[in-house]
């Protein structure tokens, strides 16, 4: 090869490298991205940011909270992209080309609010608290191609539509409940559940830990609660329980995702597992038989015995020490075997026990029969709001979980293979198309802390069962709790939800393909696009 040819080849190589390095950003419309929950405000600028193997994540020096979220983001995108982005501490992250996560001193931003600015050169995510950064990362996650959810390396590009998103939740409490008492689910299943609700900006996991069919949390001062009371479940199969170390593992895992765990010890009813474990908790001083059916309302602690309150004080004390969140849920529903006057005095006394352990009480709205402290919460679950209104009249705030709208264990329709329908069928539209603050006359926004979608466990035995009843309804509950009413419409939401099909698939979610949703078929879309191009 002569010198002239070598020079021409080198020049051609330099030109190609220059052209590659000056690659024009792909035009993308941020307004057409199908985000759930829908952001507070969004302005599209028509371009994109290309995340490559060279892209770094920058955080402010001495900001440990932003470092934690940056590490989460780096770990999140690594399996599918093959990138191992460096997280660097710098003085001015917003000036760097790449991804910047910044904690702002601006107190106008709420604890969970964030601002996301995406240009061709950089992505700047800013929040007042680490929780806001974390929820902003979930938005970044949804803006990336759905294959970001896979755990094997995929071909790029990995582009984010450019623009500005300003976002904040409408309600501070956005939760889901998992019943592990009727059927027991292990630590890894609970972690999976945590990851699924975190992806849609839900911040509370309510664990229903005890019921007639099983006691699922180790109490060291009363060991037979788990060794005997936790040994079975609905249907008579082997049960299980969490050691205190395992419970702490769940709590810590949730905390890393800015989710608060609220444990529930249901009482004075729904207590047969405890009554079968200790004779002294029964009025006749005899243990009951373990129960593996699904009936409710037949069991009660003896509310007259001092040993009952010693038992409760021990249980709440051990649980409170393991639970960093401010609430303990005491149940209080369907105590049909407890006389009303005994029930009222019981709730009043247990509320004081919870307070003595520096926690606040939550109870199903039935507890409004007692004299509630104003820092307690009542959970509206029945189809009629009478008990919840009694709580409001005591200046107690409400968690909205009406069974005929928010219960995840209600069947979608009459042929749904899982779930119940005592509160009616709850299809995807019915689950979404209601207003938290105007659902019940006498309960307005100022009385409400937020929404929770409970999943009761009578019919669920596997993680696939959980996912089938939870999805696709859960993203709708997340949006009801996060997005302002002015942003909500069923017609728009059903389109955005349908576009989640590919993401659900990559996340390996066993979801119910509701006929009410126009599920997007990406393969057919590609074929149509190719034909149109030709």
| Cα of 453 vs its chain's centroid, Å | 9
Tokens of 253: 């895992």
Instruction: Match 């500005």 to its residue by tokens.
Output: 164
**Catalytic hit among 120, 249, 256, 334:** 334
Contacts of residue 305, Cβ cutoff 8 Å, sequence gap at least 6: 280, 281, 283
Contacts of residue 174, Cβ cutoff 8 Å, sequence gap at least 6: 201, 202, 203, 204, 450, 451, 452, 477, 478, 481, 482
Tell me if residue 232 falls in helix, strand or coil. Answer: strand
Q: Angle at Cα 245 formed by Cα 242 and Cα 247, nearest 5°? A: 50
Q: Cα–Cα distance between 12 and 9 in angstroms, integer?
A: 5
C-alpha distance from residue 477 to each of 252, 324, 354, 437, 511 (Å): 24, 25, 29, 14, 15
Residue pair 456/502 in contact by the 8 Å Cβ criterion: no
Tell me if residue 173 falls in helix, strand or coil. Answer: strand
Handedness of CA 473, 474, 477, 482 (dihedral sign): negative
- Count CA atoms closer than 13 A to 57's CA, side-chain side: 22
Residue 33: active-site member: no
* Cβ atoms < 10 Å from Cβ of 348: 15
159's enclosing H/E stretch is strand 158-167
Residues classed as catalytic: 334
């Amino acid at each position: 090869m002569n010198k002239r040819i070598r020079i021409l080849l080198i020049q051609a190589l330099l030109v190609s490298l220059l052209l590659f390095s000056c690659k024009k950003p792909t035009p993308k419309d941020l307004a057409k991205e199908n985000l759930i929950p829908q952001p507070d405000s969004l302005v599209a600028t028509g371009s994109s940011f290309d995340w490559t193997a060279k892209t770094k994540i920058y955080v402010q020096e001495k900001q440990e909270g932003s470092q934690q979220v940056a590490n989460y983001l780096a770990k999140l995108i690594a399996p599918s992209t093959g990138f191992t982005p460096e997280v660097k501490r710098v003085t001015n992250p917003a000036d760097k080309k790449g991804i910047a996560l910044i904690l702002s001193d601006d107190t106008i931003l709420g604890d969970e609010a964030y601002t996301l600015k995406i240009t061709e050169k950089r992505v700047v995510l800013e929040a007042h608290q680490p929780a806001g950064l974390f929820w902003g990362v979930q938005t970044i996650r949804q803006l990336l191609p759905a294959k970001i959810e896979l755990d094997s390396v995929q071909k790029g590009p990995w582009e984010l539509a450019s623009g500005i998103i300003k976002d904040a939740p409408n309600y501070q409490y956005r939760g889901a409940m998992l019943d592990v008492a009727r059927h027991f689910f292990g630590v890894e299943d609970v972690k999976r559940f945590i990851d699924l609700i975190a992806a849609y900006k839900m911040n509370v996991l309510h664990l229903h830990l005890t019921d007639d069919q099983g006691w699922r949390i180790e109490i060291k001062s009363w060991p037979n609660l788990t060794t005997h009371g936790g040994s079975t479940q609905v249907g008579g199969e082997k049960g299980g329980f969490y050691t205190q170390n395992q419970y702490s593992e769940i709590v810590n895992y949730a905390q890393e995702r800015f989710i608060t765990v609220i444990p529930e010890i249901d009482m004075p009813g729904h207590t047969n597992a405890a009554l079968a474990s200790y004779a002294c908790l029964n009025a006749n001083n005899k243990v009951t038989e373990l129960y593996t059916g699904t009936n409710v309302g037949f069991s009660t602690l003896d509310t007259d015995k001092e040993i009952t309150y010693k038992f409760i004080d021990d249980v709440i004390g051990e649980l409170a020490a393991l639970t960093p969140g401010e609430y303990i849920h005491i149940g209080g529903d369907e105590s049909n075997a407890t006389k009303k006057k005994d029930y009222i005095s019981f709730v009043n006394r247990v509320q004081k026990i919870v307070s003595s352990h520096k926690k606040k009480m939550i109870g199903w709205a039935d507890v409004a029969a007692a004299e509630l402290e104003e820092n307690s919460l009542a959970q509206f679950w029945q189809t009629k709001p009478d008990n919840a209104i009694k709580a409001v009249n005591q200046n107690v705030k409400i968690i909205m979980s009406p069974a005929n709208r928010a219960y995840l264990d209600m069947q979608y329709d009459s042929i749904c293979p899982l779930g119940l329908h005592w509160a009616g069928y709850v299809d995807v539209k019915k689950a979404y198309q209601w207003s938290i603050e105007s659902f019940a006359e006498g309960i307005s926004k100022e009385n409400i802390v937020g929404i929770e979608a409970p999943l009761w466990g009578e019919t669920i035995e596997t993680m696939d069962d959980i996912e089938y009843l939870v999805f696709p309804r859960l993203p709708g509950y997340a949006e009801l709790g996060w997005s302002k009413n002015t942003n909500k419409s069923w017609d728009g939401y059903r389109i955005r939800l349908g576009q989640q099909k590919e993401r659900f698939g990559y996340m390996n979610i066993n979801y119910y393909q509701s006929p009410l949703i126009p599920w997007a078929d990406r393969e057919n879309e590609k074929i149509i696009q190719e034909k149109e191009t030709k």
